[in-house]
A and B are shown apart, each in its own frame.
Chain A
């Protein structure tokens, strides 16, 4: 039996789909860590990105910080936080949050900055308050780019959470890391396939959200090429 058939047999085995070490449980852990990370990172990055995009204040600082954070090695930050704060759920999550802030911040900022300035001036001329401009003009118009940024960030988190198994947490990375540890190529490859399929499925789902969440006003005015840009997907490889 070659490796691929063995992997197929692994997936067909009901024992791998039940219990606390089964695929559904690991998938649940993976999604839980990802949601926790995204929630915390969004709480910091989205308001900051909106503020910087709307006022233009701190633009250079925000972009420089996002760029510098992007260069941080995932594995380095994860191991650093474990050594500093100990084993458990939160230390790796904090590391993940720090790694997730740059793409979210960049996406939010880029979305708001991409809105036509004349549109904003027109809204201001109509007597809208700054808050109204942000929520009624900038946010809806920024949505395509903004959702693209969020999509990229979500995929990065899902990819990075796979590495978290290396520091004794669960998630789908568990199969991969355990397979590596006990030299079981079948479990190793099955784990890799699960992670890849999860990423592709989430990406597809977010692409659908992106398509349906567009405000009607933007749908008609966009040319084919802009639509291509919107659907182009994430802008940097996942961790």
Chain B
């Protein structure tokens, strides 16, 4: 505790770097996976390729990816860009699937009504499908946010500055307090980010507010029973 109080600026700086390194990939990942997911959903062959590639990406352990990326990108091993690209790739791999699942979960009747009202595909996507897809999409975002924050600290092993430094430094100095502060700060970041995402989802889906309950996550026609393990894990 005393150590924390003595080092607040240091910890705050690391927490800020950590937040930046995990939130930027989340936003970049979202920006890539929305169009990519839409394309994958529209075009069957693309879907096969996208889903296979994303599942291969997922499988590659983070530590290995952090080290292979500089070779592929030509960056320095200590460059924070490696971490950000790696976490973005993981985010895209997960979110693309969320987008496809979300688009699948939308009632065809809704889609046909939009078409009958004269909505063209792009406008239909932005004003009808995307809003209805938000709950499933946010479930994916919450998983990405937690896993990014947890994975980012592994970057400290290859010398990237974030809260993970408290673990590597604490180990070298055999200093328990530093490690504990690192763990607690990581959990706090994860919780804050999760709360921000939940609040954002609430603001963006006002039509779900009156029947907020266990059904809220899956308010449309339920798909044939397959609760995502990932989704089950983040359900409050």
Contacts and interface: CB of A to CB of B under 8 A. Distances in A.
B47 to A, nearest CB: 9
Nearest to A2: B71
Contact of B55 (A114, A158, A234): A234
B227 A114 contact: yes
A190 B151 CA distance: 22
B233 A199 contact: no
Interface of B is mostly: helix
B228 A193 contact: no
Contacts of A200: 56, 59-60
Contact of A162 (B64, B153, B225): B64
Interface in A70-89: 70-80, 82-84
11 contacts: A63-B235, A74-B151, A75-B153, A80-B179, A152-B229, A158-B61, A188-B67, A203-B59, A237-B93, A237-B94, A238-B62
A213 interface: no
A110 B232 contact: yes
A233 interface: yes
A209 interface: no
Interface string A191-220: 111011001100100000000000000000
Contacts of A225: 104, 224
A138 B157 CA distance: 43
Given A83-B170, A189-B67, A236-B94, A155 B59 contact: yes
B141 to A, nearest CB: 13
A162 B59 CA distance: 13
Nearest to A117: B225
Interface string B195-236: 000000000000000000000000000001111111011111
Given A102-B233, A114-B227, A188-B67, A196 B61 contact: yes
Q: What is the size category of the interface that chain A forms with chain B? A: 35 or more
Contacts of B51: 228, 232
Contacts of B83: none
A110 B176 contact: no
Interface of A is mostly: helix
A73 B67 contact: no
A68 B184 CA distance: 12
B167 A237 contact: no
Interface of B: 51, 55-56, 58-68, 71, 77, 90, 93-94, 97, 104, 143, 146-147, 149-151, 153-154, 156-159, 163-164, 166-168, 170-171, 174-176, 179-180, 182-183, 186-187, 190-191, 224-230, 232-236
Given A74-B153, A158-B61, A196-B60, 20 more contacts: A60-B236, A67-B146, A71-B146, A73-B186, A75-B153, A76-B183, A78-B167, A83-B174, A110-B228, A159-B62, A166-B168, A176-B63, A188-B77, A193-B68, A196-B64, A199-B59, A235-B229, A238-B59, A238-B62, A239-B151
Chain A CB count within 10 A is highest, among B66, B71, B180, B234, for: B71
B59 A163 contact: no
Contact of B226 (A67, A167, A226): A226
